[in-house]
Structure 1
Amino acid sequence: MHYPYEIVQKNKHYSILNGAYSTIANTYTGFISLYAINILHANNQQVGLINSLPAIVSLITTVIGGYWFSRQEMKRKVCGIGILSTRFFLLLFALIPFLPLYQAWVLVILIGLMNVPGSLTNLSWQSLIGDLIPEKERGLFFSNRNRILTIVGMVSTALVGWILNHFNTTNPYPFQILFFVSFLFGLLEAYYLFKHVERKEYSLIDSTKSNHLLTAMKESISEKPFLFFLLSSMLFNFGWQMAWPLFSIYQIKTAGATAVWLSLFTVTNQLSQILTYTWWGRMSERFGNSVMLFIASAGMASAPFLTVLSTNLVYLTMTNLFTGAFLAGTNFLLFNQLLGVSPGKNRSSYITLYTIVIGFIGFISPQIGVWLLSLTGMFWAMNISSVIRLLGAFAFFVVAFKFEKDRIPAILRH
């Protein structure tokens, strides 16, 4: 049973406002590596942990909290409280430069702890929005929503990068102000989350034991679309996330990127996302999520390879412009596919299971990326990431042939 049309439209409006303020509050993430390296003097291991520690914390939190959350009929309150708790850590980030010792390690630990409420927030939001927005409307709505949020993110990132560039690269005060302002926008993010209309009678959560996480793990074996999607996503995410710390290290330490260049990388990446979100939405409705996910993830495989070809900052900016289109498709299609392959009444449990598995991948892969960096150097570490991403892309294509063959263009079926 779906929400009435008027409530769905109202929730769409609040979802966009909530997402816009969330995007602004998250602008700091584009500069957190710069803060860690230039202000707190983080080493490669610590940069790797900044990328990987949140994943293992989220995994543990999800395992512990997933069972409890899967039995909650009302998710809005959990999500709202999670947002407020997560944003509180931004105030603690701002205080780190006042510490006499171990500043980088404190940042690493705080980022990890922040993902305790953050993981529950993400889990509850995915399940909540899956209830509030009918499946047939998700493709168009999320492509439009993502485009709007990307515009907001592009503007806020460009503004922050321009402001930071006016200060000495070792001056902590601009970053401290950034964290405080991000906290304020986080309050607005929570406010519009609480404005969503959620009613118990429309909840798809079933309070029977079929919603237990362990039961969902057993059922997932027989839920072939979910199982194959999960396995393909594991492979792709391993290659995707192992390069995350490598990009930051390469851009800042090797190429010498400053705040304004980091913002340009992000802005150009987001610009191409804006221009392609609607196209990905239309194509996914025409050819299926799995087929388009193959195309998007195959494009994502080129990013590490292209990046290490040059340290020229203009070239790196153009590389981000090119790969942004594929990032837009990957983010949109992964989320849409997860909702699509997760059975309605058990959606929270399946999302929890997916989050746990991908969280484990997110913990080990950045550490392996940093290990490969020390073992083989930047060039080979990045190219290994590209190869694994490409293998993940072909796994998505195999899924398309198995479950969405009728929607694959005839020329590709022969």
Structure 2
Amino acid sequence: MSRRATSSTRPPRHPDGIPPGHWDENQAPDGYQPRNPSLLERSRHWLRGPDDLAARNRQNVLIDGIGVGFAAGIGTFLSVFLVRLGASNFMVGLLTAMPALTGILLAFQVGAFLSRQRQVVPWFSRARLFVLSCYVLTGLVPYLFDQHVPEIIVGIWALATLPQTVVSVAFSVVMGQVAGPRGRVALMSQRWSTLGLANALAVLLAGQLLQHWDFPLNYQIIFLISAIGGLVSYSFSIRISLPDQEAPPAPSGRGSPWRQELGVLRQYPDFLRFTASQFIFRAGLSMAMPLLPLYWVRELKASDMTISFINTAQTVVLLVAYLLWTRLAKRTGERRVLLICAFGASFYPFLTALTHSTGPLAIYAGINGFFQAGVDLVFFDIMLDTCPPQNQARYIGLYQTTVFTAMFLAPLTGTWLADHFSLGWGLLIASALRLGGFVLLYLLGVGRGLKSEAAG
């Protein structure tokens, strides 16, 4: 009896890991003071993430985006670094086109390979780490070599094209499973907003640091700093937990595998219409990618700080635009957002080609970022919505093959136009391709009757 009484007067211990509200302090004896968790304990709890698996996956996706945004923000200076090292127009265009060439050759096979894996997340996170590590290797090249530095850097990024292809296919699979049909637009809006914030801060930081050292040391330092983003990305992306994939269905029918795939795709005309129209629009996006920094540096003599402001303006606008387009898509439908944004994004290269001073460039980049945000969100959702549901990774690989084809041919065509005519003409044709893609998106009815909208 006395032993029981002694036990009842002993203050109960606060159970670790129970969130506020689950521990009723009114049941504790008088004088009991709950122990406040230390900073280390709170940090460990934050790193573990929420108790709910879905919430924990979303948190890991967002923090992974922060790491990617930081590294990619510094990576926006890669093409400028090559230009300042004396790389030719073709070399700069090749940097943009190489991942696409590998994707053309291997994206479908990578998709088929990933569809046979029980878990895609390890392939996604490790491939991403390898790609981001190439920025660090880029920074080391001028320390180790005195000659052919641009060629060696381009060679490093040639090796990175295979893991880049893995990332491009696995990303859609992983994000689609984390969010589900009803949450894709919202999750990607949040991810790309946080990624854009990290990107903008990294661009500003890099722009400031580039002013403090002489070339090429300044570029080498910022590329080494990008390792922070790569480590953050890997640490959190590897924690995404998804159920095992089911084994893909056995191929049916006669003929070659490609003929069988085309037979399946004929059953999904929405997927084919979207794939064809986005191909033309994306060609216009890709053609401008190497031409813009070339035009800034060679035609307008833009400084590193000016280029930093241009990139920052676009990424800052993206932060707000993702949220605005997400709300508008819920209210008016994704097709309307798609058409508005595809039309608006078509004029960025055109406006740049007509510009003869650096003053308006940041404004034009901000306008482009506003419309590009809507294109990113809706393209991603339409692709997953119209993709054949069985063996999804395989058909995402097929879709990515068309994306990479546009990304390979268009930059090389753009730099060829720049060499034989002018950078301005290349930018004008890039705008024309974007407008052509917009017309196809409208005429083919892309975005009508999305299943994700019906589900939401």
TM-score (norm 2): 0.82
Q: Find out whether 1:197 has 2:253 as its counterpart.
A: no
1:300 is matched with 345
Q: 1: distance between equivalents of 2:116 and 2:210? A: 45
Q: Find out whether 1:161 has 2:231 as its counterpart.
A: no
1:412 is matched with none
1:185 is matched with 229
2:322 is matched with 277
Q: Of 109, 114, 139, which aligns to 2:160?
A: 114
Q: Of 54, 58, 62, which aligns to 2:103?
A: 58
Kindly report which structure 2 residues correspond to 1:14-413, keeping only aligned pairs within 5 A, or say none.
Answer: 14-38=60-84, 40-97=85-142, 98-168=144-214, 171-200=215-244, 203=245, 205-210=246-251, 214=258, 215-400=260-445, 403-404=448-449
Q: What's the C-alpha RMSD, in Å, of the aligned pairs?
A: 2.4
Q: 2: distance between equivalents of 1:316 and 1:6? A: 45
Encode CA deviations 1:175-195: one digit per residue, 9 max, x unaligned: 222222212321221110111
- SS at structure 1 position matched to 2:118: coil
Query: Could you tell me how far 1:87 is from its partner in structure 2?
Result: 2.9
Query: Closer, same or farther in 2 for the Cα pair 1:90/1:197, shift >3 Å?
Result: same
More helix by share: 1
2:3 is matched with none
Q: Alignment identity in percent? A: 23
Contact 2:110 2:397 in 1 (8 A): no
Query: Could you tell me how far 1:365 is from its partner in structure 2?
Result: 0.6
Contact 1:241 1:366 in 2 (8 A): yes
Encode CA deviations 1:255-298: one digit per residue, 9 max, x unaligned: 11222111100111112212221121122233333332121111
2:10 is matched with none
Query: Could you tell me how far 1:402 is from its partner in structure 2?
Result: 8.1
Query: Closer, same or farther in 2 for the Cα pair 1:91/1:147, shift >3 Å?
Result: closer
Contact 2:108 2:395 in 1 (8 A): no
The AA in structure 2 aligned to 1:139 is V
The AA in structure 1 aligned to 2:273 is F
Q: 2: distance between equivalents of 1:94 and 1:11? A: 33
Query: Closer, same or farther in 2 for the Cα pair 1:231/1:100, shift >3 Å?
Result: same
Contact 1:165 1:258 in 2 (8 A): no
Query: Could you tell me how far 1:245 is from its partner in structure 2?
Result: 1.0
Query: Could you tell me how far 1:89 is from its partner in structure 2?
Result: 2.3
Q: 2: distance between equivalents of 1:325 and 1:186? A: 27
Encode CA deviations 1:192-237: one digit per residue, 9 max, x unaligned: 011112222xx4x442225997444431222111100000011111
Query: Could you tell me how far 1:35 is from its partner in structure 2?
Result: 0.9
For the pair shown, the structure with the greater C-alpha radius of gyration is 2
The AA in structure 2 aligned to 1:189 is S
**63-72 vs 332-341, greater mean Cα deviation:** 63-72
The AA in structure 2 aligned to 1:185 is G
Contact 1:304 1:385 in 2 (8 A): yes
- SS at structure 2 position matched to 1:135: coil
Q: 1: distance between equivalents of 2:56 and 2:257? A: 32
Contact 1:239 1:389 in 2 (8 A): yes
Query: Could you tell me how far 1:12 is from its partner in structure 2?
Result: 0.6
Gaps of 5+ in 2: 1-50
Contact 2:75 2:223 in 1 (8 A): no
Contact 1:143 1:277 in 2 (8 A): yes
The AA in structure 1 aligned to 2:364 is T
TM-score (norm 1): 0.90
Gaps of 5+ in 1: 408-414
1:411 is matched with none
Matched residue count: 399
Query: Could you tell me how far 1:124 is from its partner in structure 2?
Result: 1.2
- SS at structure 1 position matched to 2:355: coil
